[in-house]
Structure 1
């Protein structure tokens, strides 16, 4: 290098403030300095490519459009080079020494004020071409030396140097190559960035999809193509699978894939995958969200919690949007309204895709439901924005479906009887439990379809849904006028005479006391002697409340309906009329047996002695 005049300049006040903030507080992960520098290099390279395509004359037109990174552990340096548009002296001063735009100055002032107040929720929107991101280099470098030559024919070469304090220097250089070369003299605590393997690791994490080759010590490091930017017709199934395995760190093939682009209401390119398996259901730890957010192929947020709702944490893939305003470090998305809109668009499109798959291939969707149905249920219970679309994806067994066969609410409504008042469901721990209980009797007798709800979350969803397509949703164990009534058949056993029913039911209520709110004759029972009804919610919801309150012994009072045609109930009435004290024990047992059938008795030991007494009476009575 010749002996050139060295010109020393002071950073603009806002730049000094910015350097202090960026170096000391804003970035929580130092690795991302490399992402910023590579992003800048890619932007400069893309601008050069566009200039050439537009017919502009440029220096060194045959230089390859690549990015080069070299590490030197001995010299403790890291060098990032590109063959992009480079900079003139004036551009160096403008881009690296000042902030010319009033909006950017306001951003710096706002940031400084927020820092004083200890706030991190600032609306930031600057992604600088050799601007804000460039200064992140000072997180790891004690000195930054930048060599550059502009693309314009006849342009001179320049060296820009600074230690990140209050000033920088500019001098002429003998560099003849077009583009920019940045040499970082690494800090003592940042020596690891002088190792090639560490640099490759960071590139794999943050910059795998930069559209130009990124070479580390002569070896290409970004080996995976950003296939989400390509047309679907240009991508093979194997390429999709390979990409999925890379981003999901998976071995199995994806179950579903959704590749779409949109220009309205937002510019989006998205590639989403449903994994081959859900390991949460096998007891593995809760999944992290797996959708990465990109802007122009540069990673903005890995495993973004902003871009998809919590229930979509099983989905893997990428979302790329050029419209995202980002904070200075690209770590926190600031425009909440825009991010919320992006979330809504992506989630809505994914739900539409699942609905299409369910209609096009019900058998495959059934397999999806078996693996990932809990996530859909979680969404239906928590995501009120997309609740309607999620509810359409729910599946249930029913008394008219085979074991393991499932139907949708839509299918249920389509095959409802003409005079059917509502959509009915019964909760129970299994199909066997439901079908052996008293609540199904009237529906079986009437040939009415009933959905089976095996989990508390199913009850919660259906209870809060209230209706679907204009049809009420009613739990079979609820006290509801919308439930069907049994028909009296010819030749059927006579019920307790009407004149005896009121005194009998009054006696039954008096005997049970506060354990029930009412005892009445049932219009729903066909074979069982009694059933317990809930005036609110389902029995499984009541059971959950018992467990939460650790109130095992206190069974919630409900309505007891008795079948006045049942031999057991008629027998108790005869004992009552004979003033036999055994009638009271039998009445208590009828209630508790009905409560067991409802799943409400969590500790049945309290009835053991009474059961022995009943057995003793049964085996000793002649």
Structure 2
């Protein structure tokens, strides 16, 4: 031990202010202090490594670059030891006792003037003071990389002063011993320290050991070249970061320098547990800066509809607030969001083209998120639309098509892309809405969920082609009027329509002869566009009154309508009952919920008439 006297120095005023803030109100999670100290240790070793690579003379050149932590549950201490660059006496004073950089001084100024607004960028050395969140005394021993530099010991209780003295001979680097506060004794437990390291510092690029046991055993694969990584390594990494037991369905690993410097590794899981009713998924992508965790399961780095994706985004460009818990620059975060989301959507489109069956598996499990994105994310809408998949009248059940597939098969002269909504394929094909499309040989997309219709209605068009629902009242496919040779005379059609309108009253806004029906006697159309949203409202609110007024179209070629017209002309009272049931049948075919009480009574009268 050196005989040199202990030198006591006062902290600079700004440092005392900073200590007060750090100790009392800076971090929301106290365990963050360990991440800060490990990050500083890694930085110190990175500096030594640079000096070695540049050929400069470095003390203890063969000393392994590693971080060791030692816990003592009896003495309630925690030591963090690194073999990094170390510090001279002057550097100790500059880095730990004063604020030498104008940027740091400005930082303190903002903290004191703006009610301790912590959404500010941290500066060098600040993380060290986080040690006083857990310790009431810190003893730091250090020796610089400079060959002739002596060792020094820095001691402080985090109040107004610190002591510096020469220390005994030691290897290059720094050892920080934390004498833990009474309410922080948990940090002398090796299990607690291992947990915190695995959570925040698993991917620090140097070995970290706790009482001789290596803790950070998983490599930061996102920083390596793809050609250097095996499938087994990717799978093990996915299991680690996603807490999963199976293999991922898709993997995207890419690096970019422009417009941003990014290293990204994303995975799509095998299963969507949100679909199984396990509750809304939490975001699954964590943000790192130089392999140090900045924000776990970030809510901002990707859009909410990508919450099913697991993985890591690492950017050296991220400006952070001092605690590293809140990302500072919203414009930069938004830029990262756009870049990574765009790249992921491009990847999905590539997968859909190269392996349609695998993409079909993805769609069946995660298509709900693509739909959510299409409905809410206007920035990426055009790319998302390309990923939508549907069944259609031209393909067998279970075969999915894209909107681009549909457009590629459109008939010459076809003006629009047509779709129709229903609960199932069978229900759609049994209804009257496809009849004219079969006759015209037009393909129709089948949609089974209300969000599908919402999306297609919102899109309006795709590749210059309008999107139109097959149950739109104003649909014009160039159909011809019904011939009087097979149907009713025009004068009688007009009279029949007027009579039915009178019978049905406010339940219909219009009754007209249909140009679209082939086999069905009648079809109900929404007077306000399409029926899909009305069906949703009825399903979610059973107390709703009768469906909104409809437009009723009659197939004047159909025997049932011809017979109805005869009964009407004979003033047969049963004609009214028949007209009401024809209308009710049309609404049921539209998927609307009707009041069964009136209908049962009416059907009993119809059966009674048939039996007699």
1:209 is matched with 203
1:362 is matched with 356
2:23 is matched with 23
Deviation at 1:100, TM superposition (A): 2.5
The root-mean-square deviation of aligned C-alpha atoms, in Å, is 1.7
SS of the counterpart of 2:351? helix
Deviation at 1:506, TM superposition (A): 1.3
320-329 or 85-94: bigger deviation: 85-94
Question: Can you list the C-alpha shifts for 1:263-315, whole angstroms capped at 9, x where unaligned?
Answer: 00000001111112222222222221111111001111111111111111111
SS of the counterpart of 1:181? strand
605-614 or 542-551: bigger deviation: 542-551
Alignment of 1:420-439 (within 5 A): 420-439=414-433
Question: Can you list the C-alpha shifts for 1:542-565, whole angstroms capped at 9, x where unaligned?
Answer: 122334555433211121111111
Which among 348, 353, 378 is matched to residue 347 of structure 2? Answer: 353
| Closer, same or farther: CA 591–161 of 1 in aligned 2, 3 Å | same
1:476 is matched with 470
1:619 is matched with 611
Q: How far apart are the structure 2 equivalents of 1:242 and 1:537? A: 52
| Closer, same or farther: CA 564–394 of 1 in aligned 2, 3 Å | same
Alignment of 1:457-468 (within 5 A): 457-468=451-462
Alignment check: 8 A CA contact 2:122 2:323 kept: no
18-27 or 50-59: bigger deviation: 18-27
Q: How far apart are the structure 1 equivalents of 2:467 and 2:196? A: 53
Alignment check: 8 A CA contact 1:308 1:347 kept: yes
2:311 is matched with 317
Alignment check: 8 A CA contact 1:463 1:537 kept: no
Q: How far apart are the structure 2 equivalents of 1:536 and 1:297? A: 56
Deviation at 1:508, TM superposition (A): 1.3
SS of the counterpart of 1:280? coil
Alignment check: 8 A CA contact 1:76 1:194 kept: yes
332-341 or 581-590: bigger deviation: 581-590
Alignment of 1:253-272 (within 5 A): 253-272=247-266
| Closer, same or farther: CA 82–373 of 1 in aligned 2, 3 Å | same
SS of the counterpart of 1:133? helix
SS of the counterpart of 1:266? coil
Which among 437, 448, 451 is matched to residue 454 of structure 1? Answer: 448
Q: How far apart are the structure 2 equivalents of 1:417 and 1:14? A: 76
Alignment check: 8 A CA contact 2:208 2:215 kept: yes
Question: Can you list the C-alpha shifts for 1:448-472, whole angstroms capped at 9, x where unaligned?
Answer: 1000000111111111111100100
SS of the counterpart of 2:141? strand
Q: How far apart are the structure 2 equivalents of 1:7 and 1:71? A: 29
2:59 is matched with 59
Deviation at 1:488, TM superposition (A): 5.8
Alignment check: 8 A CA contact 2:103 2:123 kept: no
SS of the counterpart of 1:439? coil
Alignment check: 8 A CA contact 2:450 2:532 kept: yes
Alignment check: 8 A CA contact 2:262 2:316 kept: yes
Alignment check: 8 A CA contact 2:71 2:79 kept: yes
| Closer, same or farther: CA 90–550 of 1 in aligned 2, 3 Å | farther
| Closer, same or farther: CA 581–104 of 1 in aligned 2, 3 Å | farther
Alignment check: 8 A CA contact 1:68 1:82 kept: yes
Q: How far apart are the structure 1 equivalents of 2:590 and 2:152? A: 83
Q: How far apart are the structure 2 equivalents of 1:482 and 1:96? A: 79
Q: How far apart are the structure 1 equivalents of 2:173 and 2:595? A: 78
| Closer, same or farther: CA 486–161 of 1 in aligned 2, 3 Å | farther
Q: How far apart are the structure 2 equivalents of 1:549 and 1:282? A: 24
Deviation at 1:347, TM superposition (A): 0.5
Which among 569, 577, 583 is matched to residue 577 of structure 1? Answer: 569
Alignment check: 8 A CA contact 1:396 1:406 kept: yes
569-578 or 206-215: bigger deviation: 569-578
Deviation at 1:217, TM superposition (A): 0.4
TM-score, normalised with respect to structure 1:
0.95
Give the count of matched residue pairs.
612
Deviation at 1:482, TM superposition (A): 4.2
Say whether residues 1:125 and 2:125 are aligned partners.
Answer: no
Deviation at 1:231, TM superposition (A): 0.7
1:337 is matched with 331
SS of the counterpart of 1:291? strand
Q: How far apart are the structure 1 equivalents of 2:480 and 2:154? A: 91
Deviation at 1:603, TM superposition (A): 4.2
Say whether residues 1:170 and 2:161 are aligned partners.
Answer: no
| Closer, same or farther: CA 480–104 of 1 in aligned 2, 3 Å | farther
TM-score, normalised with respect to structure 2:
0.97
Question: Can you list the C-alpha shifts for 1:481-510, whole angstroms capped at 9, x where unaligned?
Answer: 444536868xx9721210111121111112
SS of the counterpart of 2:270? coil
| Closer, same or farther: CA 37–611 of 1 in aligned 2, 3 Å | same
Structure 2 unmatched runs, 5+? none
| Closer, same or farther: CA 341–521 of 1 in aligned 2, 3 Å | same
Q: How far apart are the structure 2 equivalents of 1:84 and 1:126? A: 21
Say whether residues 1:138 and 2:169 are aligned partners.
Answer: no
| Closer, same or farther: CA 342–602 of 1 in aligned 2, 3 Å | farther
Deviation at 1:149, TM superposition (A): 1.1
Alignment check: 8 A CA contact 2:584 2:594 kept: no
5-14 or 24-33: bigger deviation: 5-14
SS of the counterpart of 1:108? helix
| Closer, same or farther: CA 316–217 of 1 in aligned 2, 3 Å | same
Q: How far apart are the structure 1 equivalents of 2:38 and 2:418? A: 59
SS of the counterpart of 1:281? coil
1:597 is matched with 589
SS of the counterpart of 1:17? helix
